[in-house]
Amino acid sequence: MLSEIQETIVKSFQVLQTTQLVKDKYENILEHLDSGIILFDRNGMLTFINVQMARLLGVSRSSIRGCSLTQIIRHSQMGRFNKRKILRIYKETIIYKKRYHELSDENGRYWLLTVTYGDQMDGDYLISAKDVSDHKQIEQTAYQNDKLAMLGKISASIAHEIRNPLTAIRGFIQLLRPHLLQLGKDEYARIILMEIDRANDIICEFLNSSKPSAPQTITVPVLPLLKEVVLLTESEALLKGCEIVLHEGQSALNISVDVKQIKQVILNIIKNALDAISDLGHYHIGIINLEVKEDLDNAYIHISDNGKGMDHNTLARLFDPFFTTKLSGTGLGLSVSYRIIKNHGGFISVNSTAGEGTEFIISLPKV
């Protein structure tokens, strides 16, 4: 009888030990996932958080384990940005019953949050956060390319329809010109022809804006190119009380580009920066910084300002054709810039915070 009891105890101990080993193994896997994991029990107390989620929240795991949601929000280590995000997730999950949320952090990375609760969780709430920035970038690039391609088709169609009647009008005016000359009204014909030519030039400019030509590339050093752009914009910057600072590093760095097109891109960005600084009023001291960096394959042109910045909604549509926040803007400048950099085999990205400023990063292949 005693031996049977001892055998049962040993078996129970072995089962317990095996269960604990399995539990430790799975906890170890969860702790080191590249996705963030956090678990709340039915009473709202945090029972588990892995390394990645703690890093996202900017707190140590030991300091918040066993805390309630209210205690976490009041945590001294947690930043205001993360507190706002947590409150937003709580509101949308509890009040609006949403199970999926897409958020961006301070570094511009996108995260997909999934909330699991209900009968299968026995009253617990499991929140997972997965980095989907690469997928988001691919999606945005494909969407942008589709819109730019559509813009090119529309522009070509409009230009063709307008050019045909203009050509006919020009021909008839030239036929009438000798009769107008006899009447002493040759000046009228000259003005009409000049205005028709001006209309044709506007159409050509619009076509070039919506569908930039293939780049005619030459090898140039980056810094002299940037210096030329600074010289072109310096006087306008002074009038608006701004300073353009070119950080002269990486002097030997060369790129193969269409100089005219790349100048157009940088001028567009600097002029937008000047407008963003002007919107803050005359008493705001504006600074625009230009800096060149590199890695093994690419040169990076950083253009940052301390203007009014942009909110998330503006950032999401920034490179859309015809989207503008200016009263007199066409909304083509940045969409054209995006196409030009893409045609050069590069990429253009932007980071911005409302009220703090904006930074554009132009990536171009090195020679």
Mean pLDDT by 10 residues, the chain (367 residues): 59 55 58 74 81 79 79 79 77 75 71 75 77 74 69 70 81 84 82 82 66 79 90 86 84 85 90 87 84 89 91 82 72 82 90 89 91
Tally of CB atoms within 10 A around 357: 22
| Residue 8 falls inside a structural domain | no
CA distance 77 to 294: 35
| Residue 21 falls inside a structural domain | no
| Residue 2 falls inside a structural domain | no
pLDDT of residue 18: 56
Measured at the alpha carbon of residue 101, what is the angle toward residues 95 and 104, in degrees to the nearest 5?
A: 125
Class of residue 293 by CB neighbours under 10 A (exposed 0-12, middle 13-18, buried 19+):
middle
| Residue 188 falls inside a structural domain | yes
Class of residue 319 by CB neighbours under 10 A (exposed 0-12, middle 13-18, buried 19+):
buried
Domain end: 131, 157, 181, which one?
Answer: 131
CA distance 191 to 107: 56
Q: Do 184 and 102 reside in the same domain of the chain? A: no
Q: Do 155 and 236 reside in the same domain of the chain? A: no
Q: Do 267 and 337 reside in the same domain of the chain? A: yes
Would the CA dihedral through 16, 22, 25, 29 be positive or negative?
negative
Q: Do 222 and 361 reside in the same domain of the chain? A: yes
Tally of CB atoms within 10 A around 36: 21
Nearest of 260, 240, 268, 241 to residue 326 by alpha carbon: 268
Q: For the domain that residue 40 is a member of, what is the CATH number? A: 3.30.450.20
Domain end: 80, 102, 131, which one?
Answer: 131
Q: Do 175 and 40 reside in the same domain of the chain? A: no
Instruction: Answer yes or no: pTM beyond 0.75.
Output: no
| Residue 149 falls inside a structural domain | yes
CB 362 within 8 A of CB 301: yes
Q: Do 168 and 270 reside in the same domain of the chain? A: no
Q: For the domain that residue 325 is a member of, what is the CATH number? A: 3.30.565.10
Q: Do 96 and 188 reside in the same domain of the chain? A: no
Q: Do 190 and 236 reside in the same domain of the chain? A: no
Q: At 327, which amino acid appears?
A: L
Domain end: 101, 131, 161, which one?
Answer: 131
Q: Dihedral through CA 212, CA 215, CA 221, CA 223, nearest 10?
A: 0
Q: Do 184 and 257 reside in the same domain of the chain? A: no
How many structural domains compose the chain? 3
pLDDT of residue 67: 82
Q: Do 127 and 203 reside in the same domain of the chain? A: no
| Residue 225 falls inside a structural domain | yes
Q: Do 105 and 140 reside in the same domain of the chain? A: no
Domain limits for position 284: 218-365
| Residue 144 falls inside a structural domain | yes
Nearest of 230, 362, 363 to residue 289 by alpha carbon: 230
| Residue 343 falls inside a structural domain | yes
HSE of 141, CA atoms in CB hemisphere, 13 A: 12
Q: Do 261 and 327 reside in the same domain of the chain? A: yes
331: alpha, beta or left? (left if phi > 0; alpha if psi -120 to 50): left
The two three-digit tokens of residue 238, written as one number: 């002074």
